Amino acid sequence: MSSFSSLKRNRSSLDKLTKAIESTTASTEGSKNDDRFWTPTVDKAGNGMAVIRLLPPSEADGDDALPWVRIFSHGFQGPGGWLIDNCLTTLNDKCPVCEHNSTLWNSGIDANKNIARTQKRKLSYIANILVVSDPSNPENEGQVKLFKFGKKIFDKISEAMNPEFADETPINPFDLWEGANLKLKIRNVEGYRNYDKSEFSPPSAVHDGDDEKLEALWKKEYSLKEFIEPNNFKSYEQLKTRLDKVLGVAAPRTRAEDQFSTEDADTSILDTASSDEEDLDYFKSLAEE
């Protein structure tokens, strides 16, 4: 547990979060069945805009927690149905799906590489946000929600903390006092939601820095720890059984699969809409291990 006075006195430093991003870098949209999650609305053309404020770690998660959690998952269809499950590499454990994909890629066969691309793990992050502006659903404005997002938005956050040019000042987007609103500008690019035009506003305090209002806001945040609890993940054996059923085979493990390590699986960060170049970099890194 944490206290608001502790949050204000010891709020996450930019250096701490920057190091966390560096460690992370060495999805799917929010859950449709969980009303805690907020998802931006787009029009028929796939365009939309909203303004959110990323929030610091919740009271329940404590002072040392990061303001986001990172989750890898798999979602694809095979002859035996769909496999939609969290990836065990989230917990730094071995994942049979990643092992299988590595074997396909290492085969050197183009057809196998194409299959591996469709079955690769996907990356998403979850954070608490304040919905500042939601023109399509104004009833959400002022509410604390959970926001599930991918690599593109995480890159925007990282760029704000680590600006490319010397005349730009680093900011901590999760800070209630010195952070900044994130203007989400959404376009439809080749069938995927694209956030490239999104940007941070100039730094400003939430609720004009009124501590009473800020504490009330902070106490409404959700704990993020539940999303990375082991009980939200199937065991290796359960995933392997499901994978075999989806693939329609029960192939024996290969020597290449036995040599696959958790460190291999964590060599890349992949988004739901990642490019072919990112795919190649990911599987190339596995093949070179």
Question: What does the pLDDT look like over 156-179, one tens digit per residue?
Answer: 999 999 999 999 999 999 999 999
In this prediction, residue 249 carries a pLDDT of 75
In this prediction, residue 248 carries a pLDDT of 93
In this prediction, residue 31 carries a pLDDT of 54
| Cβ burial 161-176 (10 Å sphere, 16+ → b, else e) | beeeeeeeeebbbbbb
pLDDT digits (tens, 9 = 90+) for 197-212: 999 999 999 999 999 9
- Strand pairing partners for 182? 52, 200
Low-confidence ranges of the chain (pLDDT < 50): 24-30, 253-289
In this prediction, residue 5 carries a pLDDT of 76
Gap between the Cα atoms of 71 and 55, Å rounded: 18
In this prediction, residue 19 carries a pLDDT of 62
In this prediction, residue 269 carries a pLDDT of 28
In this prediction, residue 150 carries a pLDDT of 94
CATH class of 4-288: alpha beta
In this prediction, residue 287 carries a pLDDT of 44
Residue boundaries of the structural domains of the chain: 4-288
In this prediction, residue 283 carries a pLDDT of 46
Gap between the Cα atoms of 235 and 243, Å rounded: 12
The answer to whether 83 touches 74, Cβ cutoff 8 Å, is: yes
In this prediction, residue 250 carries a pLDDT of 54
In this prediction, residue 151 carries a pLDDT of 93
